[in-house]
Structure 1
Amino acid sequence: MPRIRTLSPILVVTLLSASAALPVRAQQTVIQIENVRTEYARVLRAQPVYQTLRATAMVEQCKDGVVVESAESKRGLARVVGAVKDALTPNSEDREAEQAPPADGCEVVPTEREFRRPIAYDVDYVHHGVKYRSRLPYDPGNRVRVRVSITPIVSGSR
Structure 2
Amino acid sequence: MPSFLPAKRWLPLLLAAAFAAAPAWAQHTVIQAENVRYEYAQVLRAEPVYQTLRATGMVERCEQSSLVQPGGEEGRRGLSRVVGAVRDVLTPGRRDPSVDADTADAAGGDCRMVPVEREFRRPIAYDVDYVVRGVKYRSRLPRDPGNRLRVKVAVTPVVPEGNID
Please report the TM-score for the alignment, with normalisation by the length of structure 2.
0.55
CA distance in structure 2 between the partners assigned to 1:157 and 1:115 by the alignment? 60
Corresponding residue of 1:109: 114
Deviations along 1:102-148, whole A, 9 cap, x unmatched? 95411111100000000000001000011101000000011111011
In structure 2, runs of 5+ residues without a counterpart are 1-20, 65-101
- For 1:5-154, list aligned pairs within 5 A: 25-26=24-25, 28-64=28-64, 103=105, 104-154=109-159
CA distance in structure 2 between the partners assigned to 1:106 and 1:121 by the alignment? 45
For 2:159, what is the secondary structure of its paired residue? coil
Q: How far is 1:38 from its partner?
A: 1.1
CA distance in structure 1 between the partners assigned to 2:154 and 2:28 by the alignment? 24
Deviations along 1:53-97, whole A, 9 cap, x unmatched? 011111011124xxxxxxxxxxxxxxxxxxxxxxxxxxxxxxxxx
Q: CA RMSD in A?
A: 2.6
- State the identity %: 67
CA distance in structure 1 between the partners assigned to 2:116 and 2:129 by the alignment? 39
Deviations along 1:7-39, whole A, 9 cap, x unmatched? xxxxxxxxxxxxxxx998347221211021211
> How many aligned residue pairs are there?
102
For 1:62, what is the secondary structure of its paired residue? strand
1:157 aligns with 2:163: yes
Please report the TM-score for the alignment, with normalisation by the length of structure 1.
0.57
For 1:154, what is the secondary structure of its paired residue? coil
In structure 1, runs of 5+ residues without a counterpart are 1-21, 65-99
